[in-house]
Amino acid sequence: MNSPLDPQTGPQFSAQPQALHQRAQDNLHFIRTSMERATSFTGVSGKSYCVAGVTVLIATAVAQQQSGPAAWLTVWMIELALAASIILWMTMRKAQAQGGSLWSSNGRKLLAAFTPAMVVGGVLTVSCALQEAYDWLPGIWLSLYGAAIMTAGAYSVAIIPVMGAVLLLCGSVVLLLNIDAALLFGLIMGSVHILFGLLIWRSHGG
Amino acid sequence: MAAKPKPVKSAPQTETPALSALTSTSGERGDFDRLIHERSRLAIVSALAVNKSLSFNDLKSVLAISDGNLSSHARKLEDAGYILCEKRFENRVPNTCYSLTPAGKKALKHYISHMESLIAAVKHS
C-alpha cells in the first residue's frame, strides 16, 4: 500500500518555500488523505473468507458428484450466492463493530472496483453455458475473480491484492495450458480463501 | 527572441494582525500544537479519528512505516495523552490496539481549525 508519508506516492508537496496558507492547505489535504486511507480498510473479515473457503471445499465435493455439466454449474452458482452472502454479512458486521460502515467512502470504492470484473465473469459464464463450453469456466472464474480481488484490494489491506494475484495466476495457467480444472478450481478457490482468511484474521482481526 | 524579464514585486514583509495572532505569541507559535504537526504523528491521529480503534499492524499498513518509527511516534502521542494504547491477547497472540482519547480528538480538531483560520486570515488580508 502507498504511504501518505511517502513523498513519491503520498500527497505532493512543493520543494519550493511555501506561504503559510499553502502549507496549511497541504496539512488539511494530508489529514483528509490519511483519514480516507484509514477508513474501512480493515472492514474485510478474515473469518468470513475462512468460512467461505470451507463452503467452497464442500461445494467441490458436491459438484464432483453431479452427472452433467449443467448440474455442476448449478452447484457453483448456489455456492457463489452462499459464499458472497457470508462474506458480505460478516464484513458488514465487522465494519459496524469497528464503528464504521461498508458503505463508507472506501467501502463504496472497494465495491465499485470489485464489480466490473465480476460482471464480465457473469456474462462469460452465460455465454459459455449457452455454447456448452463448460471447460473454460474454471479458468475464467479464477482469472476474473482474481482480477476483481486485485483491483478492489487497492482500497483494502495490502494482503488482499496478493490473494487476487495468486488467483489470477492460477486462472491464467489453467486457461493457457487448457487444463481440465473442474476439481482443481474448487481446491484452489477453497484453499486460497482459507489461507488468506487466516492471514487477514491474524493481522487485522476476524 | 528572449522576452525581457519583468521586475518581480517582493512580498510585503509585514504580517496582518490576524496572521500574526495565529503564528506568533511571545516569539513562539502561539497555541500551535507541534506534537501533532509532525507528519507521522498527524497521520496516526487522523487515522484513529475515523476508527474506533486500530491495531499496531493496521496502523503500520496505513502509514507504511517501520515498527520502530510507529512505536516511537505512538509513544510520544501516548505520553501526551492523545492516544490510548491497550495491550491484549487474541488467541494467545499479543495484539496492541490504539484509540484516540478525548484530548487527542480535541487536539486534532484544534489543529484543523488552526489551519482553517490561517487560510481564512490570508484570504481576508
Instruction: Judge whether A27 is closer than 8 Å to chain B, CB to CB.
Output: yes
Instruction: Judge whether B50 is closer than 8 Å to chain A, CB to CB.
Output: yes
- The full DSSP string for B64-108 is T--HHHHHHHHHHHHHTTSEEEEEEEETTEEEEEEEE-HHHHHHH
Tens-digit pLDDT string for chain B (125 aa)? 444 444 433 334 344 444 444 444 333 345 678 898 999 999 999 999 988 888 888 888 788 889 999 999 999 999 999 999 998 776 677 888 999 999 999 999 999 998 998 888 877 77
Residues 119-148 of A with CB under 8 A from B: none
| Confidence band of A4 (pLDDT split at 50, 70, 90) | low
- Lowest mean pLDDT, pick from A172-176, A202-206, B14-18: B14-18
Q: Grid coordinates standing for B27?
A: 516569539
Instruction: Tell me whether residue A78 is in a domain.
Output: yes
Strands B54-55 and B93-100, sheet pairing:
antiparallel
- Give the integer Cα–Cα distance in Å for B94 and B88: 6
Per-residue pLDDT tens digits for A92-116? 888 777 666 777 777 788 889 999 9
A58 has a pLDDT exceeding 90? yes
**Tally of domains within chain B:** 1
Domain span including residue A163? 67-204
How much is the pLDDT for B51?
82
**Tally of domains within chain A:** 1
Given an 8 Å threshold on Cβ–Cβ distance, is B46 in contact with A38? Answer: yes
- The stretch A14-39 carries a mean pLDDT of 78
Q: Grid coordinates standing for B41?
A: 504523528
CB A53 within 8 A of CB A95: no
Given an 8 Å threshold on Cβ–Cβ distance, is A6 in contact with B64? Answer: yes
Instruction: Tell me whether residue A7 is in a domain.
Output: no
Q: Which amino acid is at A205?
A: G
Instruction: Tell me whether residue B71 is in a domain.
Output: yes
A7 has a pLDDT exceeding 60? no
| Confidence band of A189 (pLDDT split at 50, 70, 90) | very high
| Confidence band of A153 (pLDDT split at 50, 70, 90) | confident
Closest A-chain CA to B11? A19
CATH label of the domain that carries residue B56: 1.10.10.10
CB A78 within 8 A of CB A70: no
How much is the pLDDT for B57?
84
Per-residue pLDDT tens digits for A137-152? 999 999 999 999 999 9
Domain span including residue B116? 32-124
Instruction: Judge whether B89 is closer than 8 Å to chain A, CB to CB.
Output: no
